[in-house]
Amino acid sequence: MSYALFPDDVLFFQRILRADGLYAGNLDGQWGPKTERAAKEFEKLAEEIRIKTRTYDIRSERSLSTLCLKAQKEARLFLGRVIDGGLNVRIISGTRTYAEQNALYKKGRFGNPGPVVTNARGGFSNHNFGIAWDIGIFTPSGGYKADGPEYEKAAQKGLSPEIEWGGNWKKLVDKPHYQLRQHFQIAELRSRFEEGNPFILPA
């Protein structure tokens, strides 16, 4: 079921498909034969990447499936290195549509129950373009650890030249956050994503 990935937002999915070079049709939010073909191709290629790397826990797999294909590959290889390094880690978050990002932004604001979890509205987070993922560290019994030295260790084990770590950011340190290294600032990324122009560097 190719429709399952971003069922409420065909336009968003078309932009992801375009970013992967799979969709040359109009960015019109209409699910037609071109979108269907591109979605099937996306699934096929994602499956090939999974088979060439490995299969992870359900939550990681769900998060990975929302990423652009190059990010899927790099995130899978990253996760393998971190797990082989002895850490109990999962990918707990991947791509968010603008609507999902806006819903997250409202948490802890405008009278909604908190805490505040993001400073980014829809279109202003790297998670909105298919290139970013967040990890969670878990105890042997499955408890989530929101911070701890394991987050530095994960970066030591997992980073590669293709990947940028939020723990190295100067303004807002974000240790669970990783993304494909790329050339563009967020405003340029957003306009390229929305207009269907390339922004993912070739491997």
- Give the count of residues interacting with Zn ion (CB under 5 A): 2
175 scored as a contact of Zn ion (CB under 5 A):
no
164 scored as a contact of Zn ion (CB under 5 A):
no
Sole window of 14-22, 40-48, 83-91, 173-181 interacting with Zn ion (rule: CB under 5 A): 173-181
CA–CA separation, 102 and 98 (whole Å):
6
Least distance to Zn ion, CB of residue 177, Å: 3
18 scored as a contact of Zn ion (CB under 5 A):
no
The site string for Zn ion over 82-121 (x = CB under 5 A, - otherwise) reads: ----------------------------------------
Sole window of 2-10, 29-37, 83-91, 176-184 interacting with Zn ion (rule: CB under 5 A): 176-184
134 scored as a contact of Zn ion (CB under 5 A):
yes
177 scored as a contact of Zn ion (CB under 5 A):
yes
129 and 189 Cβ atoms separated by less than 8 Å: yes
189 and 199 Cβ atoms separated by less than 8 Å: yes
Taking the least distance from each CB to Zn ion, the nearer of 134 and 164 is 134
Within 13 Å, how many C-alpha atoms sit on residue 147's CB side?
A: 4
Sole window of 40-48, 56-64, 128-136, 152-160 interacting with Zn ion (rule: CB under 5 A): 128-136
Give the rounded distance of the alpha carbon of 4 from its chain centre: 16
Q: Please identify the residue of the shown chain whose CB is closest to the bound Zn ion.
A: 177
* Structure tokens given for 75: 């995130």
CA–CA separation, 4 and 140 (whole Å):
32
The CA-atom distances, in angstroms, between 202 and each of 71, 75, 80 are 11, 16, 22
Taking the least distance from each CB to Zn ion, the nearer of 10 and 166 is 166
For Cα atoms 60, 100, 202, give the angle at the middle one, nearest 5 degrees.
Answer: 60
